[in-house]
Structure 1
Amino acid sequence: MDISSKGGTQSIRRVLHMLRLLAQHEASGLSLQEITSFSGLERSTAHRIITCLAAENFARKDTESKRYYLGIDAMQIGFSAMQRVPIADTLRPLAKRLCRLSEDTVFLVVQQGDYALCLLREHGDFPVRIFTIDAGEKRLMGIGAGGLALIADYSNEAIAKIYARHAVEYEQAGLPLDCLLQKVRHTRQQGFSEIVDGITPGVSGVGYSFSISKITKVAISFGAISQRLDAARRQTMGKLLAEECLAWVRAM
């Protein structure tokens, strides 16, 4: 976005850009210095906008850390929009198509801070169904094929910070940082994620992440028993998944 563009909408664009920044960094919050740096605005301008957003409950300043987060009213707008046009309803036709093509279980997750929140699980015709996660449940990004696809879009430095915030949970999941980064490198190289005997022994998956708006990222994944989703089929299904998701994005 060109937030330096002139005209009557310049101020509106600046405010919207700042709200997007807060949404993108909701888990950790942003200091005024970070807001200034990320927005490209003068410090006085950034301070004026964020102060106004806080006064109107669209931003919240933590009294101890002095970091800014989304406010109650910003979140309420998001909740209202979700009730009217849920992400799951929008992407359900794609998930059902992938079920028909694969006959496997398809999962849809959306990034929610450091977590991947499951919005949808659709079962294909293959008789062995996968129940590793259900709609409404969430896991840290990196755990599970969809979450791994999401976190692979982050820099290694950002991943290390996410890991540090949840080190105990990652260790409990049997996922040390070096192992996570290795999986991330593999995901970036081939364009989709792979999980073999991960969360549930005997179950494997492939996942692909993509953006459905400037601040909303989702991932769709296939899950199947490892015997069915062997190395060769993981390659086939991973490429199919990427192709179908990219086609959906182009048709938006």
Structure 2
Amino acid sequence: MSKPMETPGAQNMRRSLQVLRVLGAHHEEGLAVNEVVALTQLERSTAHRLLTCLVEEQFAERDAATRRYRLGLEAMRLGFASLKRAPLLASYQPVLQRLARISEDTVFLLARQGDYTVCLAREDGAFPVKIFSTRVGDIRPLGIGVGGLAMLSGAPDDEIARIRTQHAPAFDAAGLTPSQISKVIARTRRTGYAELVDTVTQGVGGVGAVIPTTGAPFAAISIAAIKPRMGAARRAELGQLLVSTLNGGG
């Protein structure tokens, strides 16, 4: 079979896409420059130039400590945009609507991508005070926010420690110290749902639970409301509602 004709003048674009593909295939562990060179067969100077450009445009990120490259936020935004018509959203939109109707509060659908979560959808309940701290398309490090915390709780302890260390400024800003994270993770694993108050946004509380899957958790649903509506008893009630609903009992 003859090789298809390549578009003239697009060589740099093809090389950039080649680098993005290998970064995507090795996003979790990241790649050093020499590994990118080996996987793409590009000259080292070319690979380094392309990686530098991708970092500048936020399609890649470079870990300052390990000097390894991963996909950046802009690459993730493109992937998340494609999820808006994905089966996950179609399957769980009725669930979001039902939970919003029952709770009268704001319900979110979140998905994991590497070390981050993205908000894929939200449904507002009838309560007049809405939560606008999270909007569709918002991206946060995994564990910052109650839905992301629910997903983080399903990860191995060494991965949790790595993510907490790698994204320490975001966790510190949310008041989630290593000891606090350990306590919250243990409680989430015990109850089946995560709960947070006054972390990402002061005066807001919420609960979240993962969507059951055979592998590592990749999606979660959370319910958020102003703090006066999220006392301990109501968090427990809504957390149990989430777990029951997502496990087919609600």
TM-score, with length taken from structure 2: 0.67
Equivalent residue number for residue 191 of structure 2: 190
1:220 Cα offset (Å): 0.2
Deviation at 1:85, TM superposition (A): 2.9
Q: Which residue matches 2:110?
A: 109
Percent of pairs identical after alignment?
41
Partner of 1:48: none
Are 1:206 and 2:207 matched, yes or no?
yes
CA contact (8 A) 1:156 1:181 kept: no
Of residues 157-166 and 217-226 in structure 1, the stretch that sits farther from structure 2 once superposed is 157-166
Check whether the contact 2:147–2:222 (CA below 8 A) recurs between aligned residues.
yes
Letter in 2 for 1:196: V
Q: Relative to 1, partners in 2 of residues 1:237 and 1:121: Cα closer, same or farther, differing over 3 Å?
A: same
Structure 1 residues 82 and 241, CA gap change in structure 2 (3 angstroms): same
Distance 1:123 1:168 in 2: 30
Deviation digits for residues 220-242 of structure 1 (CA, Å, limit 9, x no counterpart): 00001111121111111100011
Amino acid in structure 2 at the alignment position of 1:236? E
Unaligned runs of 5+ in 1: 1-21, 32-53, 56-60
Q: How far off its partner does 1:87 sit?
A: 3.0
Distance 1:106 1:114, change over 3 A: same
| 1:119 aligns to 2:116 (yes or no) | no
Secondary structure of the residue aligned to 2:136 is coil
Deviation at 1:30, TM superposition (A): 7.8
Give the aligned CA root-mean-square deviation in angstroms: 3.7
Q: Residue by residue, what CA displacement relative to the aligned partner does 1:119-160 show, whole Å, maximum 9, x if unpaired?
A: 111100111111121011111111111011010001222111
- Aligned equivalents of 1:147 and 1:182: distance in 2? 16
How far did residue 210 of structure 1 move? 2.1
**Partner Cα separation in structure 2 for residue 25 and residue 167 of structure 1:** 22
CA contact (8 A) 2:122 2:135 kept: yes
Q: Aligned partners of 2:128, 2:240: CA distance in 1, in Å? A: 23
Local SS of the residue matching 1:181: helix
Q: Would you say how many aligned residue pairs link Structure 1 and Structure 2?
A: 202
Secondary structure of residue in 2 paired with 1:227:
helix
Q: Residue type matched to 1:106 in 2?
A: V
Distance in 1 between residues matched to 2:114 and 2:82, nearest whole Å: 18
Q: Does 1:166 align with 2:167?
A: yes
Runs of at least 5 residues in structure 2 that lack an aligned partner in the other structure: 1-22, 33-38, 41-46, 52-61
Aligned residue for 2:160, secondary structure, equals helix
Quickly say closer, same or farther: Cα 1:23–1:246, change in 2 above 3 A: farther
Within 5 Å, give how 1:18-167 maps onto structure 2.
26-29=27-30, 82=83, 85=86, 87-167=88-168
1:67–1:196: structure 2 CA closer, same or farther, 3 Å change rule?
closer
- Aligned partner of 1:176 in structure 2 is 177
**TM-score, with length taken from structure 1:** 0.67
Q: 2:242 matched to which residue of 1? A: 241
Supply the AA of the counterpart residue of 1:209.
V
Q: Which residue of 2 aligns with 1:220?
A: 221
Does the CA contact (< 8 Å) of 2:83 and 2:120 recur in 1?
Answer: no
Q: Check the 8 A contact 2:212/2:246 in 1, yes or no.
A: no
Per the TM alignment, residue 114 of structure 1 is displaced from its structure 2 partner at its CA by 0.8
